Structure 1
Amino acid sequence: MDEWPCAKEHGRIDMKPEFIRFVTGIVRQTDCNREEREDLYEELLTHLECSFIDYQKKGYSEEEAMRTAMTNFGTEQEVGDQLQEAMYPYRKGMMLGLSVASLLFAYSVYASQLFIMGDAHILWLILAVLIGMAVLFVTVRPVTSLNRRLWMNGLLLVHLFVYFYGLLLATDVLPPYSVGLTIIAVLILLLGIILIYRTTIYDYPSKRPALWKDAKRLHFINITLGILVVFVTLFFLWALLLFSEVSSIFLLLLIPIGLWMLSYAVQMRLLANQKVTWAYAIVFTQIAAVVVMIFLVRGI
């Protein structure tokens, strides 16, 4: 990255601890991956250094120049929000909307089951609240040490799994309450799916432009297959709950989801090693397996 003119003129100066803390607070407000975060961190520090030097040239003392540079830059929250919105438009608002809507839906379904049906699924409520709070936490307080794409997508997929089951629960509530809850559940699921596609395909582009088109295709196919796998396995769960013990069902449920996650990871590793043909061979095998699963569901 090219340095700012003042940095070229004066050379690198000692980083002020106040600047480091200030810039760290700003960068934590964004959803950057590690490489983007390092570039942004250096750029913001360099900008503050330049402002600091300019104010000293105007006769400000060192403390006054440092304080004025940070004041004119803006608060950590303001600058962080502006950078987040510039890099990922509407992302934070969509995540906040998903988490709040999910929590309200979870409590509404539980209350409807409890007071209208006389019985409620407390385990599902706990899982739904935990996943809703997790989405809210990573939105409000991004964890800088995590791989954003990996953890955010994993969280959104778990959210999709839990709240699709919530959709099934909502359909069991007596009408007219079931109609409203079902519509809300569908909207929540659609928003979650949109965020999964956006996070994987658009928000964190590959550092290797030559393979980025292949990466986008494989991400799109795998996300779509993952969603289908979740829906199909939940259908089996819903159907088998009537005839089997819960423990054995959950063990069966983990197998297709685990195989999908493993094959997805293997494809990305093969693509990183430029073994594109093998990556596509695995994804075509996945497609065939999901088609077989769908025909099995239709036959039940």
Structure 2
Amino acid sequence: MNQVFHRFVEGIVRETDSNQEEREDLYEELLSHLECSFKDYQKQGYSNEEAMRTVMTNFGDERKIGQQLQQAMYPYRREMMLGLSVASLLYAYGVYLSQLLIMGDAHILWLVVAVLSSTALLLLTVRPVSSLNRRLWMNSLLLIHILIFFYGLLLATDVYHPVSIGLTIIASLILLLAIVLVYRTTIYDFSSNRQRSAKDAKRLHFINITTGIFVVFVILFFLWAFLFFSAEMSPAVFIIFIPLVIWIVSYASQMHLLSRQKKKWAYSIAIIQTAIIICLIGLWLLGV
């Protein structure tokens, strides 16, 4: 009997995008509810088989229950992910065809990468794999998607035609939706009451995601400018990726320090990181 309930609950939890801690909480809650209902039916005179069959029938289909829980726990996120992936696919082909038909040349490599990124997001949304760490994979894909489509935004501005305005607006909306989803999946959707320093973790995530997005956009802008004005690729171009490496190390260090309850050190690194970026912005604006 217990094995039947365990398999049933596992099937329900598998349909959600919960992290490990949330899955454990949800698993225990659902299993406890099934076992309590089973005991109630036993007290009413049902045999073990009848009680188990009645409980399972009343509970419903595991896949539908899982999908309902997914929607209740993360409202409209599935629809947002579907909208992002479909819009991204249409935009990728739109930019490619615009470049090909208007300018006579197109970036086939960017098209392939953009289509792969959009398709991966679509598959992760429509056919999620329960064995994966969905939070990690979703956020990683979203960040990669932002990188790819920011470059796609720059490509749209290169199309010397009124259609460029429409493509630029669509690209901006795609980037905005992807950024909103990164914030949501990292800060809002995956909170845990059992996580130590949960509020501090959310604050640090917010600070680092914000600064990281800015760093990535600036790097891509300079990379695009370098490729546009340079006749050939130079190893020196990789110097512009140093700030990104520093940001990754800083972000990881803050999370590590926070996990060891060294909040002051974690916040100190975040403040220094943010101050450096603000100073660089100021210097860049003054230089402009």
Structure 2-normalised TM-score? 0.88
Q: Partners in 2 of 1:210 and 1:132 — Cα distance? A: 34
Please state if 1:106 is matched with 2:99. Answer: no
2:270 corresponds to which of 283, 288, 294: 283
Give the Cα–Cα distance (whole angstroms) in 1 for the partners of residues 61 and 237 of structure 2.
Answer: 48
Aligned to 1:228: 214
The corresponding residue for 1:266 is 253
Which one-letter code corresponds to 1:172 in the other structure? D
Q: Alignment partner for residue 165 of structure 1, among 145, 151, 173?
A: 151
Equivalence map 1:1-300=2 (5 Å): 14-17=1-4, 19-55=5-41, 65-207=51-193, 211-241=197-227, 242-243=229-230, 245-246=232-233, 248=235, 251-295=238-282, 297-298=284-285, 299=287
Distance 1:40 1:250, change over 3 A: farther
Q: Is the 8 A contact 2:38 2:52 kept in 1?
A: yes
Q: How well do the aligned residues superpose, as a CA RMSD in angstroms?
A: 2.5
Distance 1:255 1:147 in 2: 28
Name the % identity: 66
Mean Cα displacement is larger for which, 137-146 or 102-111?
137-146
Answer with 105-114 or 70-79: which moved more: 70-79
Matched letter for residue 189 of structure 1:
L
Give the distance between the partners of 2:233 and 2:50, measured in 1 at CA. 66
**CA separation of 1:63 and 1:50: change in aligned 2, threshold 3 A:** same
Q: Residues 176, 294 of structure 1: CA spacing in aligned structure 2 closer, same or farther, 3 A cutoff?
A: same
Measured at CA, do residues 32 and 64 of structure 1 come closer, stay the same or move farther in structure 2, by a change above 3 Å? same
CA 1:51–1:287 in 2, change beyond 3 Å: closer, same or farther? same
Distance 1:206 1:84 in 2: 16
Q: State the alpha-carbon separation in 1 of the partners of residues 236 and 101 from structure 2.
A: 28
Cα distance in 2 for partners of 1:94, 1:289 equals 34
What's the offset of the Cα at 1:208? 5.9
Note the alpha carbon deviations across 1:211-270, whole angstroms, 9 max, x for none. Answer: 333222211111110010011001111111122644636633432222211110100111
Distance 1:204 1:89 in 2: 13
Partner Cα distance (2:201, 2:182) in 1: 15
Residue 10 of structure 1 corresponds to: none
Structure 1 distance, partners of 2:252, 2:130, is 22
Structure 1 residues 69 and 213: alpha-carbon distance in aligned structure 2, compared to 1, 3 A threshold: closer
Q: Deviations along 1:25-78, whole A, 9 cap, x unmatched?
A: 211111111011012122223333344455566666655554443333222332
Shift of 1:175: 2.5
Alignment size in residue pairs = 286
Residues 188, 85 of structure 1: alpha-carbon distance in 2 compared, 3 angstrom cutoff? same
Q: How far 1:274 sits from its partner (Å)?
A: 1.7
SS at match of 1:16: helix
- 5+ residue gaps in structure 2? none
**1:144 Cα deviation (Å)?**
3.5
CA distance in 2: counterparts of 1:92 and 1:250, whole angstroms: 38
Q: Is the 8 A contact 2:15 2:130 kept in 1?
A: no
Task: Report the 3-state secondary structure (helix = DSSP H, G, I; strand = E; otherwise coil) of the residue aligned with 1:142.
Answer: coil
